Amino acid sequence: MFKKNVEFSWLNDDDLLKLSKFHVTGSEDLNSNYLGATIENNCLTCGLDFRACPGHFGHYEFMYPLVHPLLTQETRVELKKMKKKIRIFQNTVQIKDSTSAWKTFTALDIDPNSWNTSYFRKYLPISSIHVRPSCITAGTRTGVSQNDITHRLASLIRLDQNLRISIQLNNNNIVEHRRILIRLQIAYVLLFWPPPGTQKNRELSCLSQRFKGKEGRCRSTLLGKRVDYSARSVISSDSFIDVDEIGLPLEIADKLTVPEYVCSWNFGHMSNLLADRKVKCVERNGSMIDPKYRRNLYPQLGDKFHRFLKDGDYVLANRQPTLWRSSIQAMKVKRMQRGRSIRLNVDVTPPFNADCK
């Protein structure tokens, strides 16, 4: 049964505590094995090694709740309902004080009863050590370089601990508490967003920089450019092939495979393919068999042969940018004995927006 109503929301503090497996109390706990396994030590949460452990989240509790850097617009709307003059400057929420000067908005600027609003966060999620691995210099044990995200998290924890010490020394020094809390809020923003302006030295990376750009997580590792059963090369024109054919060089045709099952009516044909070494691998009973290293291998009914491309096989041809549906077309394969480029008929280049002439 599918639910009719699906709601998307931010992870609140209660949900974070349910997902958390470890309570971080100091910066030295950021590399604890409760958050995941390392090469030397197994995970203390699941007991698995670094190859099998998926990593686990932890949490750290702030002294005062902080404004979530991704909820600045919601904070702006809620504070306007309280008749406060507010603006968003460099990814931080600022309000006007009694001297009409702009200052960073903190939890000390409103009533404590309003600290349970949706834009405040009392707990900081601590990611597993798998997504922020540390680098160890070869041949040494002390030459450890921590990840940039680990440095960001450590600075947040140290500032919060300084705030706790300041409160213990003098609970009435609100000016000092507010100063440290503003620094803590800015450090929380820098965990998500880079500092404005150009920096002379290399700045620590943040979460947004891990996702954006060509080298980011989305375009570099999540988009469909590194996939199986695909090849890429330069295109060129060829007037001696049909408009529904695509000429593939042997370097591509002898690497890409097509799955084909062994049946009673094609048993002889599949036997000839196996004898002519036109089969890359044989899938039988859930295991893969390489004909190169298996002598006296004969086809059986139900086997899946991953054979190389032959003339007449259909493939999907795509030329980027894929602006409309004709940029991807199904075409018949024609093995080309010479050349290393993909050949197309001149008459079929306009749908692909190609420049072959």
CATH number assigned to the domain comprising residue 250: 2.40.40.20
At 141, the pLDDT band (50, 70, 90 cuts) reads: low
Do 19 and 70 reside in the same domain of the chain? yes
The parent domain of residue 321 ranges over 227-254+309-357
Give yes or no: residues 160 and 233 share one domain: no
pLDDT category at 311 given cuts 50, 70, 90 is very high
Residue 125: inside a domain: yes
Residue 284 and residue 263 share a domain: yes
Residue 149, H or E segment:
helix 148-169
Helix or strand (DSSP H, E) at 287: strand 287-289
In a domain, 62, yes or no: yes
Element housing 53 (H / E): none
Is 7 within a domain? Answer: no
Tell me how far CA of residue 88 lies from CA of 12, 40, 79, in angstroms.
22, 46, 12
Q: Is residue 271 located within the same domain as residue 351?
A: no
The SS3 assignment for 332 reads: strand
Confidence at residue 212, expressed as pLDDT on a 0 to 100 scale: 87
The amino acid that residue 190 corresponds to is: L
Asked whether the CA dihedral 187, 192, 198, 199 is positive or negative, the reply is: positive
Tell me the mean pLDDT in the region 282-286: 89
* 134 pLDDT above the threshold of 60: yes
Residue 313 belongs to a domain: yes
Residue 136 pLDDT level (bands cut at 50, 70, 90)? confident
Q: Half-sphere exposure of residue 187, counting CA atoms within 13 Å on the CB side?
A: 20
CA distances from 213 to 54, 219, 321, 331 (A): 26, 7, 18, 34
Distance in angstroms (rounded) separating the CA atoms of residues 310 and 18? 55
CA distance 130 to 128: 5
How confident is residue 140, by pLDDT bands cut at 50, 70 and 90?
low
* 240 and 263 co-located in one domain: no
Q: What is the domain count for the chain?
A: 3
Q: How confident is the model at residue 72 (pLDDT cuts 50, 70, 90)?
A: very high
Q: 25 and 108: one domain?
A: yes
pTM: 0.66
Whether the per-residue pLDDT at 356 is higher than 60: the answer is no
Q: Which CATH number do you get for residue 288?
A: 3.30.1490.180
